[in-house]
Structure 1
Amino acid sequence: MAAARCLLTEDQFLCSICLDVFTDPVATPCGHNFCKTCITTYWDGNDFCQCPNCKEFFCTRPKLQVNMFISEMAAQYKQSAQQEARSSSSEQHVSKPGEVPCDVCTGTKLKAQKSCLVCLVSYCETHLEPHLTSSGLKRHQLIDPVENLDERMCKKHDKLLELFCKNDQMCVCMLCSVLDHKMHDFVPLKEEYEGKKTELGKTEAEIQQIIQRKKTKIWEIKHSVELSNKNAERETTEGVQVFTALKESVERSQAELINTIQMTQRKMEKEAEGFIKELEQEISELEKRSAEVKQLSHSEDPLQLLQNFTSLKAAPPTKDWTQVRVHPPSYEGNVVRAVNKLEETLGKLIKKAELRMAQRFAVDVTLDPDSAHPELILSDDGKQVHHNDVKKNLPDSPERFDTCPSVLSKQRFSYGRFYYEVQVKGKTDWTVGVAIESMGRKGKIILNPLNGHWTICLRNEQEFKALSDPPVSLSLKSHPKKVGVFVDFEGSLVSFYDVDAAALIYSFTGCYFKEKLSPYLSPDLNHGGKNSPRLIIHSLPIPLIPLGVKGGQVSQFQAKSLDRRVEKFRFRAAVTYGWKSPFRK
């Protein structure tokens, strides 16, 4: 039979009406086989008898007899197919660790497909079939397979936990609601489940948001570490350069001091050697005369003694050495002068370091043509401006200066620190600084901090002033060719630097910045071509994080870190080289 099973296919045992394996197969006179019930029902629904396959008509309804051979073959095939299906199902659905096993299976436990809350049993696909076909078992409540079904029963009343008590926040059975939880508020377990599931969904969403925020914070911290590493490398390189210069300056000053002392000592020694040589020569002459006198004094010849007495009586002429002194030179002045010179050199290095610190906060500045006075000419890139005697026909908007030949930048700054540089070389008059966003732009403008302007200027080619209230005259050793402007919102500070000399020109302290600030430039009037050179905004390398402008503010930690670096640099110089800087706070 097994050999026959292998040679037969499923199509050979299928009824063409119900498309299932034959049940009580019968044959029509034309030779086609059908389930007895299928062909009978088919003919009952028609006015004539016809084969469903070949459409042959039968004048009289054929008497149908069950074909026992085909019936047995179909039964054998169905049994074999069920065994194969059960075997295949068993292989594919054997319970694995962590899965709920069937409580009915003996031997190898299959994976449960459903659990019955009435029977308190979990069933595999095979043992679940009665609950899907029997009318009595169909009313049982099936759920996805779960373990420990007995825990779903009330320990006190041995009834299914079907309700949720909102007062006591616990699951109860029907008897509990009547006996132990009278007058409490109850909802079906599934209803409370749906509510709690919704709450869990919201909680999960909130947790995901928290996780995302923390991941973002991790990224920020890692990014800060990367920036710190880059800053540390740059700071180390610059620090090595600065302290190498300091070391070379100290060594050079030390060598100069030693050389000066040695030269002074050699000069004194040379002078002393000259005196000694001269004295030794005189002594030699005197010793020679002494020998001649001694020899003459022992002479027995009266004539010889009398003839030579006059020439030998007097001592040979010599220098008067009573006022001659060799004074040891004083070296104290040399040491003081060397230290003062070293301090001046170190001061210049510190100024350069401080300027470099300010330049770390460099921002990109472009001039705003909508604010420029009609007689000002701006370059296409917004980096240059100069005065022209011809007034352009431009709309007189509220943003435009109408009297003062001035212009503001497009950029606005409200926090942190920022720095920019302006070339003023060759000009006889100019004004540079920062101003509040809402500064007056019509008519005569008085520039001072009370009106929201922090600026310095050059007038008549020689008068430098800080435009405070009242203006402060500035005494500069030389005319700056490039002016750096540094603003520190937290420090309430606006400082101006001579970039080439690395020297501080002036600082406004205790500033009150009530609004956003913009770089402010005025090339002043042309003065018949005498003041024709342009004010040029010098482009500097922009730091990795734009500092002070919206969208890229430096952190307070980074800003204070730069202060600490400058102060640490000063302190190390003081400790290492024993000098007190006039710039130290």
Structure 2
Amino acid sequence: MAQKGVQLNRESFSCSICLDLLKDPVTIPCGHSYCMKCIEDFWDEEDKRKIPSCPECRKTFTPRPVLVKNIMLATLVEQLKMSGLQASPADHSYAGPEDVACDVCTGRKLKARKSCLICLVSYCEKHLQPHYDVAQLKKHQLVEPSKKLHENICSRHDEVMKMFCRTDQQIICYVCTVDEHKGHNIVSAALERSEKQKELQVKQENIQQRIQDREKDVKLLQQELEAINVSADKTVEDSEKIFTQLIQLIQKRSSEVKQQIRSQQETEASRVKELQEKLEQEIAELKRKEAELKQLSDTEDHNQFLHNYPSVSAFSGSPHSSSTRAHPLRYFEDVTAAVSELRDKLQDILRDTGTNIFLKVTEVDVLVSEPEPEPETSAALRGYRPPRPHKRIGSRKTVQRFSSPRHALSFDEPEDL
């Protein structure tokens, strides 16, 4: 008996929100007491709906009450703790703020295990037992605990709504069938549910089929993506090798031309230097003869003049005997012209073949789906089949080319080689 009294005391001084002994207890206007933090958190959540209420009796308060610590209750809790009463672990059989409470329980309510759509009442495990034992109650429809049982009551006639008006597509009660829905196409809610369930099952099957088709499409697209990446990487690698070879070939040809020009430069320069030396020797010889002629011309002794004349005048060179001919100052300009011509031809080739290369890059096989509208009527729904998977538009030889600016590619002319 002593143990039972302690248990009663523990429950009397426990918060119905956290199910633990009261901490900083406060008493709200309806008389129920809670931990200050528990009720503040509960009301903070309810502030979103602007209706502070008591978690136990559901009484609402306007405005929100100001909480003040209950000194006497706090003192009692402390005395109970000192007397050996410890906080009991949370009893998960009691209903919390977010749980559906048993409508039959009095005082502190237990969690509901089932809700009855006939009784429109939620029951804990104890009060639910008659629905398993009593023959008449066994026929009632039990569902998972619900806070929306009131939605099954007709607001006009306060009767359980068990009928369905197909004319107005509305759930109604028996009284509604002879009142505002008189003459309408009315069936039981169970029958309508059965029909809707069949349509729902077909929709579920169609959706499942579409999910499978889309998963296959995703797998195909993933394979396509991997193939694109592998092919692109290999093509980039091969293209870099080819362009590197092309650059090396041009560099080699440039080096050969340069070497040939330098060789020819050396040959021509040597020939010119040799001719230049000969001409300089000839100039020196002519200057010497000129000096001898001048010396002979300046001789005053006639006999001496006539004596030396035959030896001095023996020079047979002609002032026009030089074999040097003037050339236009062009030299290697013809080579430059030939290289320029090669550059122009390469530009033409690169322009034509480059455009073709970029067209090849933009040629793709496009995977497209052919969506079909989903049926709306039940008859069409039963005959509906999901669309076939993606069809490939075009083949490897006939492809769709993108022409949008985003995919348009141009080939810039290379700079002068």
Q: Deviations over 1:72-131 (max 9, x none)?
A: xxxxxxxxxxxxxxxxxx956455786533222345543323323443211111112344
The residue that corresponds to 1:183 in the other structure is 183
How far apart are 1:345 and its partner, in Å? Answer: 12
SS in 2 for 1:255: helix
Contact 1:260/1:334 (<8 A) preserved: no
Mean CA deviation greater in 223-232 or 324-333: 324-333
Is 1:325 the counterpart of 2:325? The answer is: yes
CA distance in 1, matches of 2:155, 2:342: 96
The residue that corresponds to 2:309 in the other structure is 309
CA distance in 1, matches of 2:410, 2:169: 67
Q: 1:319 to 1:293 in 2, by over 3 A?
A: closer
CA distance in 1, matches of 2:272, 2:226: 68
Q: 1:561 to 1:211 in 2, by over 3 A?
A: same
- Structure 1 residues 528-543: aligned runs within 5 Å: none
The residue that corresponds to 1:143 in the other structure is 142
- What amino acid does structure 1 have at the position aligned with 2:128? L
The residue that corresponds to 2:291 in the other structure is 291
How far apart are 1:146 and its partner, in Å? Answer: 2.5
The residue that corresponds to 1:237 in the other structure is 237
The residue that corresponds to 1:123 in the other structure is 123
CA distance in 2, matches of 1:98, 1:210: 37
- Structure 1 residues 191-340: aligned runs within 5 Å: 191-299=191-299, 301-317=301-317, 320-321=320-321, 324-327=324-327, 328-329=329-330, 331=332, 333-335=334-336, 337-338=338-339
Higher helix share: 2
The residue that corresponds to 2:159 in the other structure is 159
Contact 2:157/2:175 (<8 A) preserved: yes
Q: Deviations over 1:254-308 (max 9, x none)?
A: 3333344444444443333233222211110111112223333444554433221
2:413 counterpart (564, 575, 584): 575
Contact 1:152/1:161 (<8 A) preserved: yes
- Structure 1 residues 58-73: aligned runs within 5 Å: none
- What amino acid does structure 1 have at the position aligned with 2:228? S
Q: CA RMSD in A?
A: 4.4
Contact 2:394/2:400 (<8 A) preserved: no
SS in 2 for 1:127: helix
- What amino acid does structure 2 have at the position aligned with 1:575? E
Q: Deviations over 1:499-537 (max 9, x none)?
A: xxxxxxxxxxxxxxxxxxxxxxxxxxxxxxxxxxxxxxx
The residue that corresponds to 1:409 in the other structure is none
SS in 2 for 1:179: coil
Consecutive unaligned residues in structure 1, runs of 5 or more: 3-89, 359-415, 417-551, 580-585
The residue that corresponds to 1:82 in the other structure is none
Q: 1:238 to 1:108 in 2, by over 3 A?
A: farther
Contact 1:132/1:138 (<8 A) preserved: yes
Contact 2:347/2:413 (<8 A) preserved: no
SS in 2 for 1:208: helix
The residue that corresponds to 1:64 in the other structure is none
CA distance in 2, matches of 1:118, 1:562: 66
CA distance in 1, matches of 2:301, 2:168: 157
Contact 2:112/2:125 (<8 A) preserved: yes
- What amino acid does structure 1 have at the position aligned with 2:305? L
How far apart are 1:313 and its partner, in Å? Answer: 2.5
CA distance in 1, matches of 2:221, 2:397: 13
SS in 2 for 1:275: helix
How far apart are 1:232 and its partner, in Å? Answer: 1.5
Q: 1:323 to 1:577 in 2, by over 3 A?
A: same
How far apart are 1:338 and its partner, in Å? Answer: 4.5
How far apart are 1:217 and its partner, in Å? Answer: 2.5
Contact 2:114/2:122 (<8 A) preserved: yes
Contact 1:131/1:138 (<8 A) preserved: yes
CA distance in 2, matches of 1:219, 1:176: 54
- What amino acid does structure 1 have at the position aligned with 2:335? N
SS in 2 for 1:296: helix
CA distance in 2, matches of 1:554, 1:254: 48
Normalized against structure 2, the TM-score is what?
A: 0.57
SS in 1 for 2:178: helix
SS in 1 for 2:151: helix
- What amino acid does structure 2 have at the position aligned with 1:258? K
Normalized against structure 1, the TM-score is what?
A: 0.42
- What amino acid does structure 1 have at the position aligned with 2:154? C
SS in 2 for 1:311: helix
CA distance in 2, matches of 1:242, 1:263: 31
- Structure 1 residues 415-494: aligned runs within 5 Å: none
How far apart are 1:331 and its partner, in Å? Answer: 4.1
SS in 2 for 1:293: helix
SS in 1 for 2:111: coil
Q: 1:562 to 1:164 in 2, by over 3 A?
A: closer
Q: Deviations over 1:210-241 (max 9, x none)?
A: 22222333223322221121112111111111
CA distance in 2, matches of 1:571, 1:179: 77
SS in 2 for 1:187: strand
SS in 1 for 2:171: strand
Q: Deviations over 1:395-434 (max 9, x none)?
A: xxxxxxxxxxxxxxxxxxxxx9xxxxxxxxxxxxxxxxxx
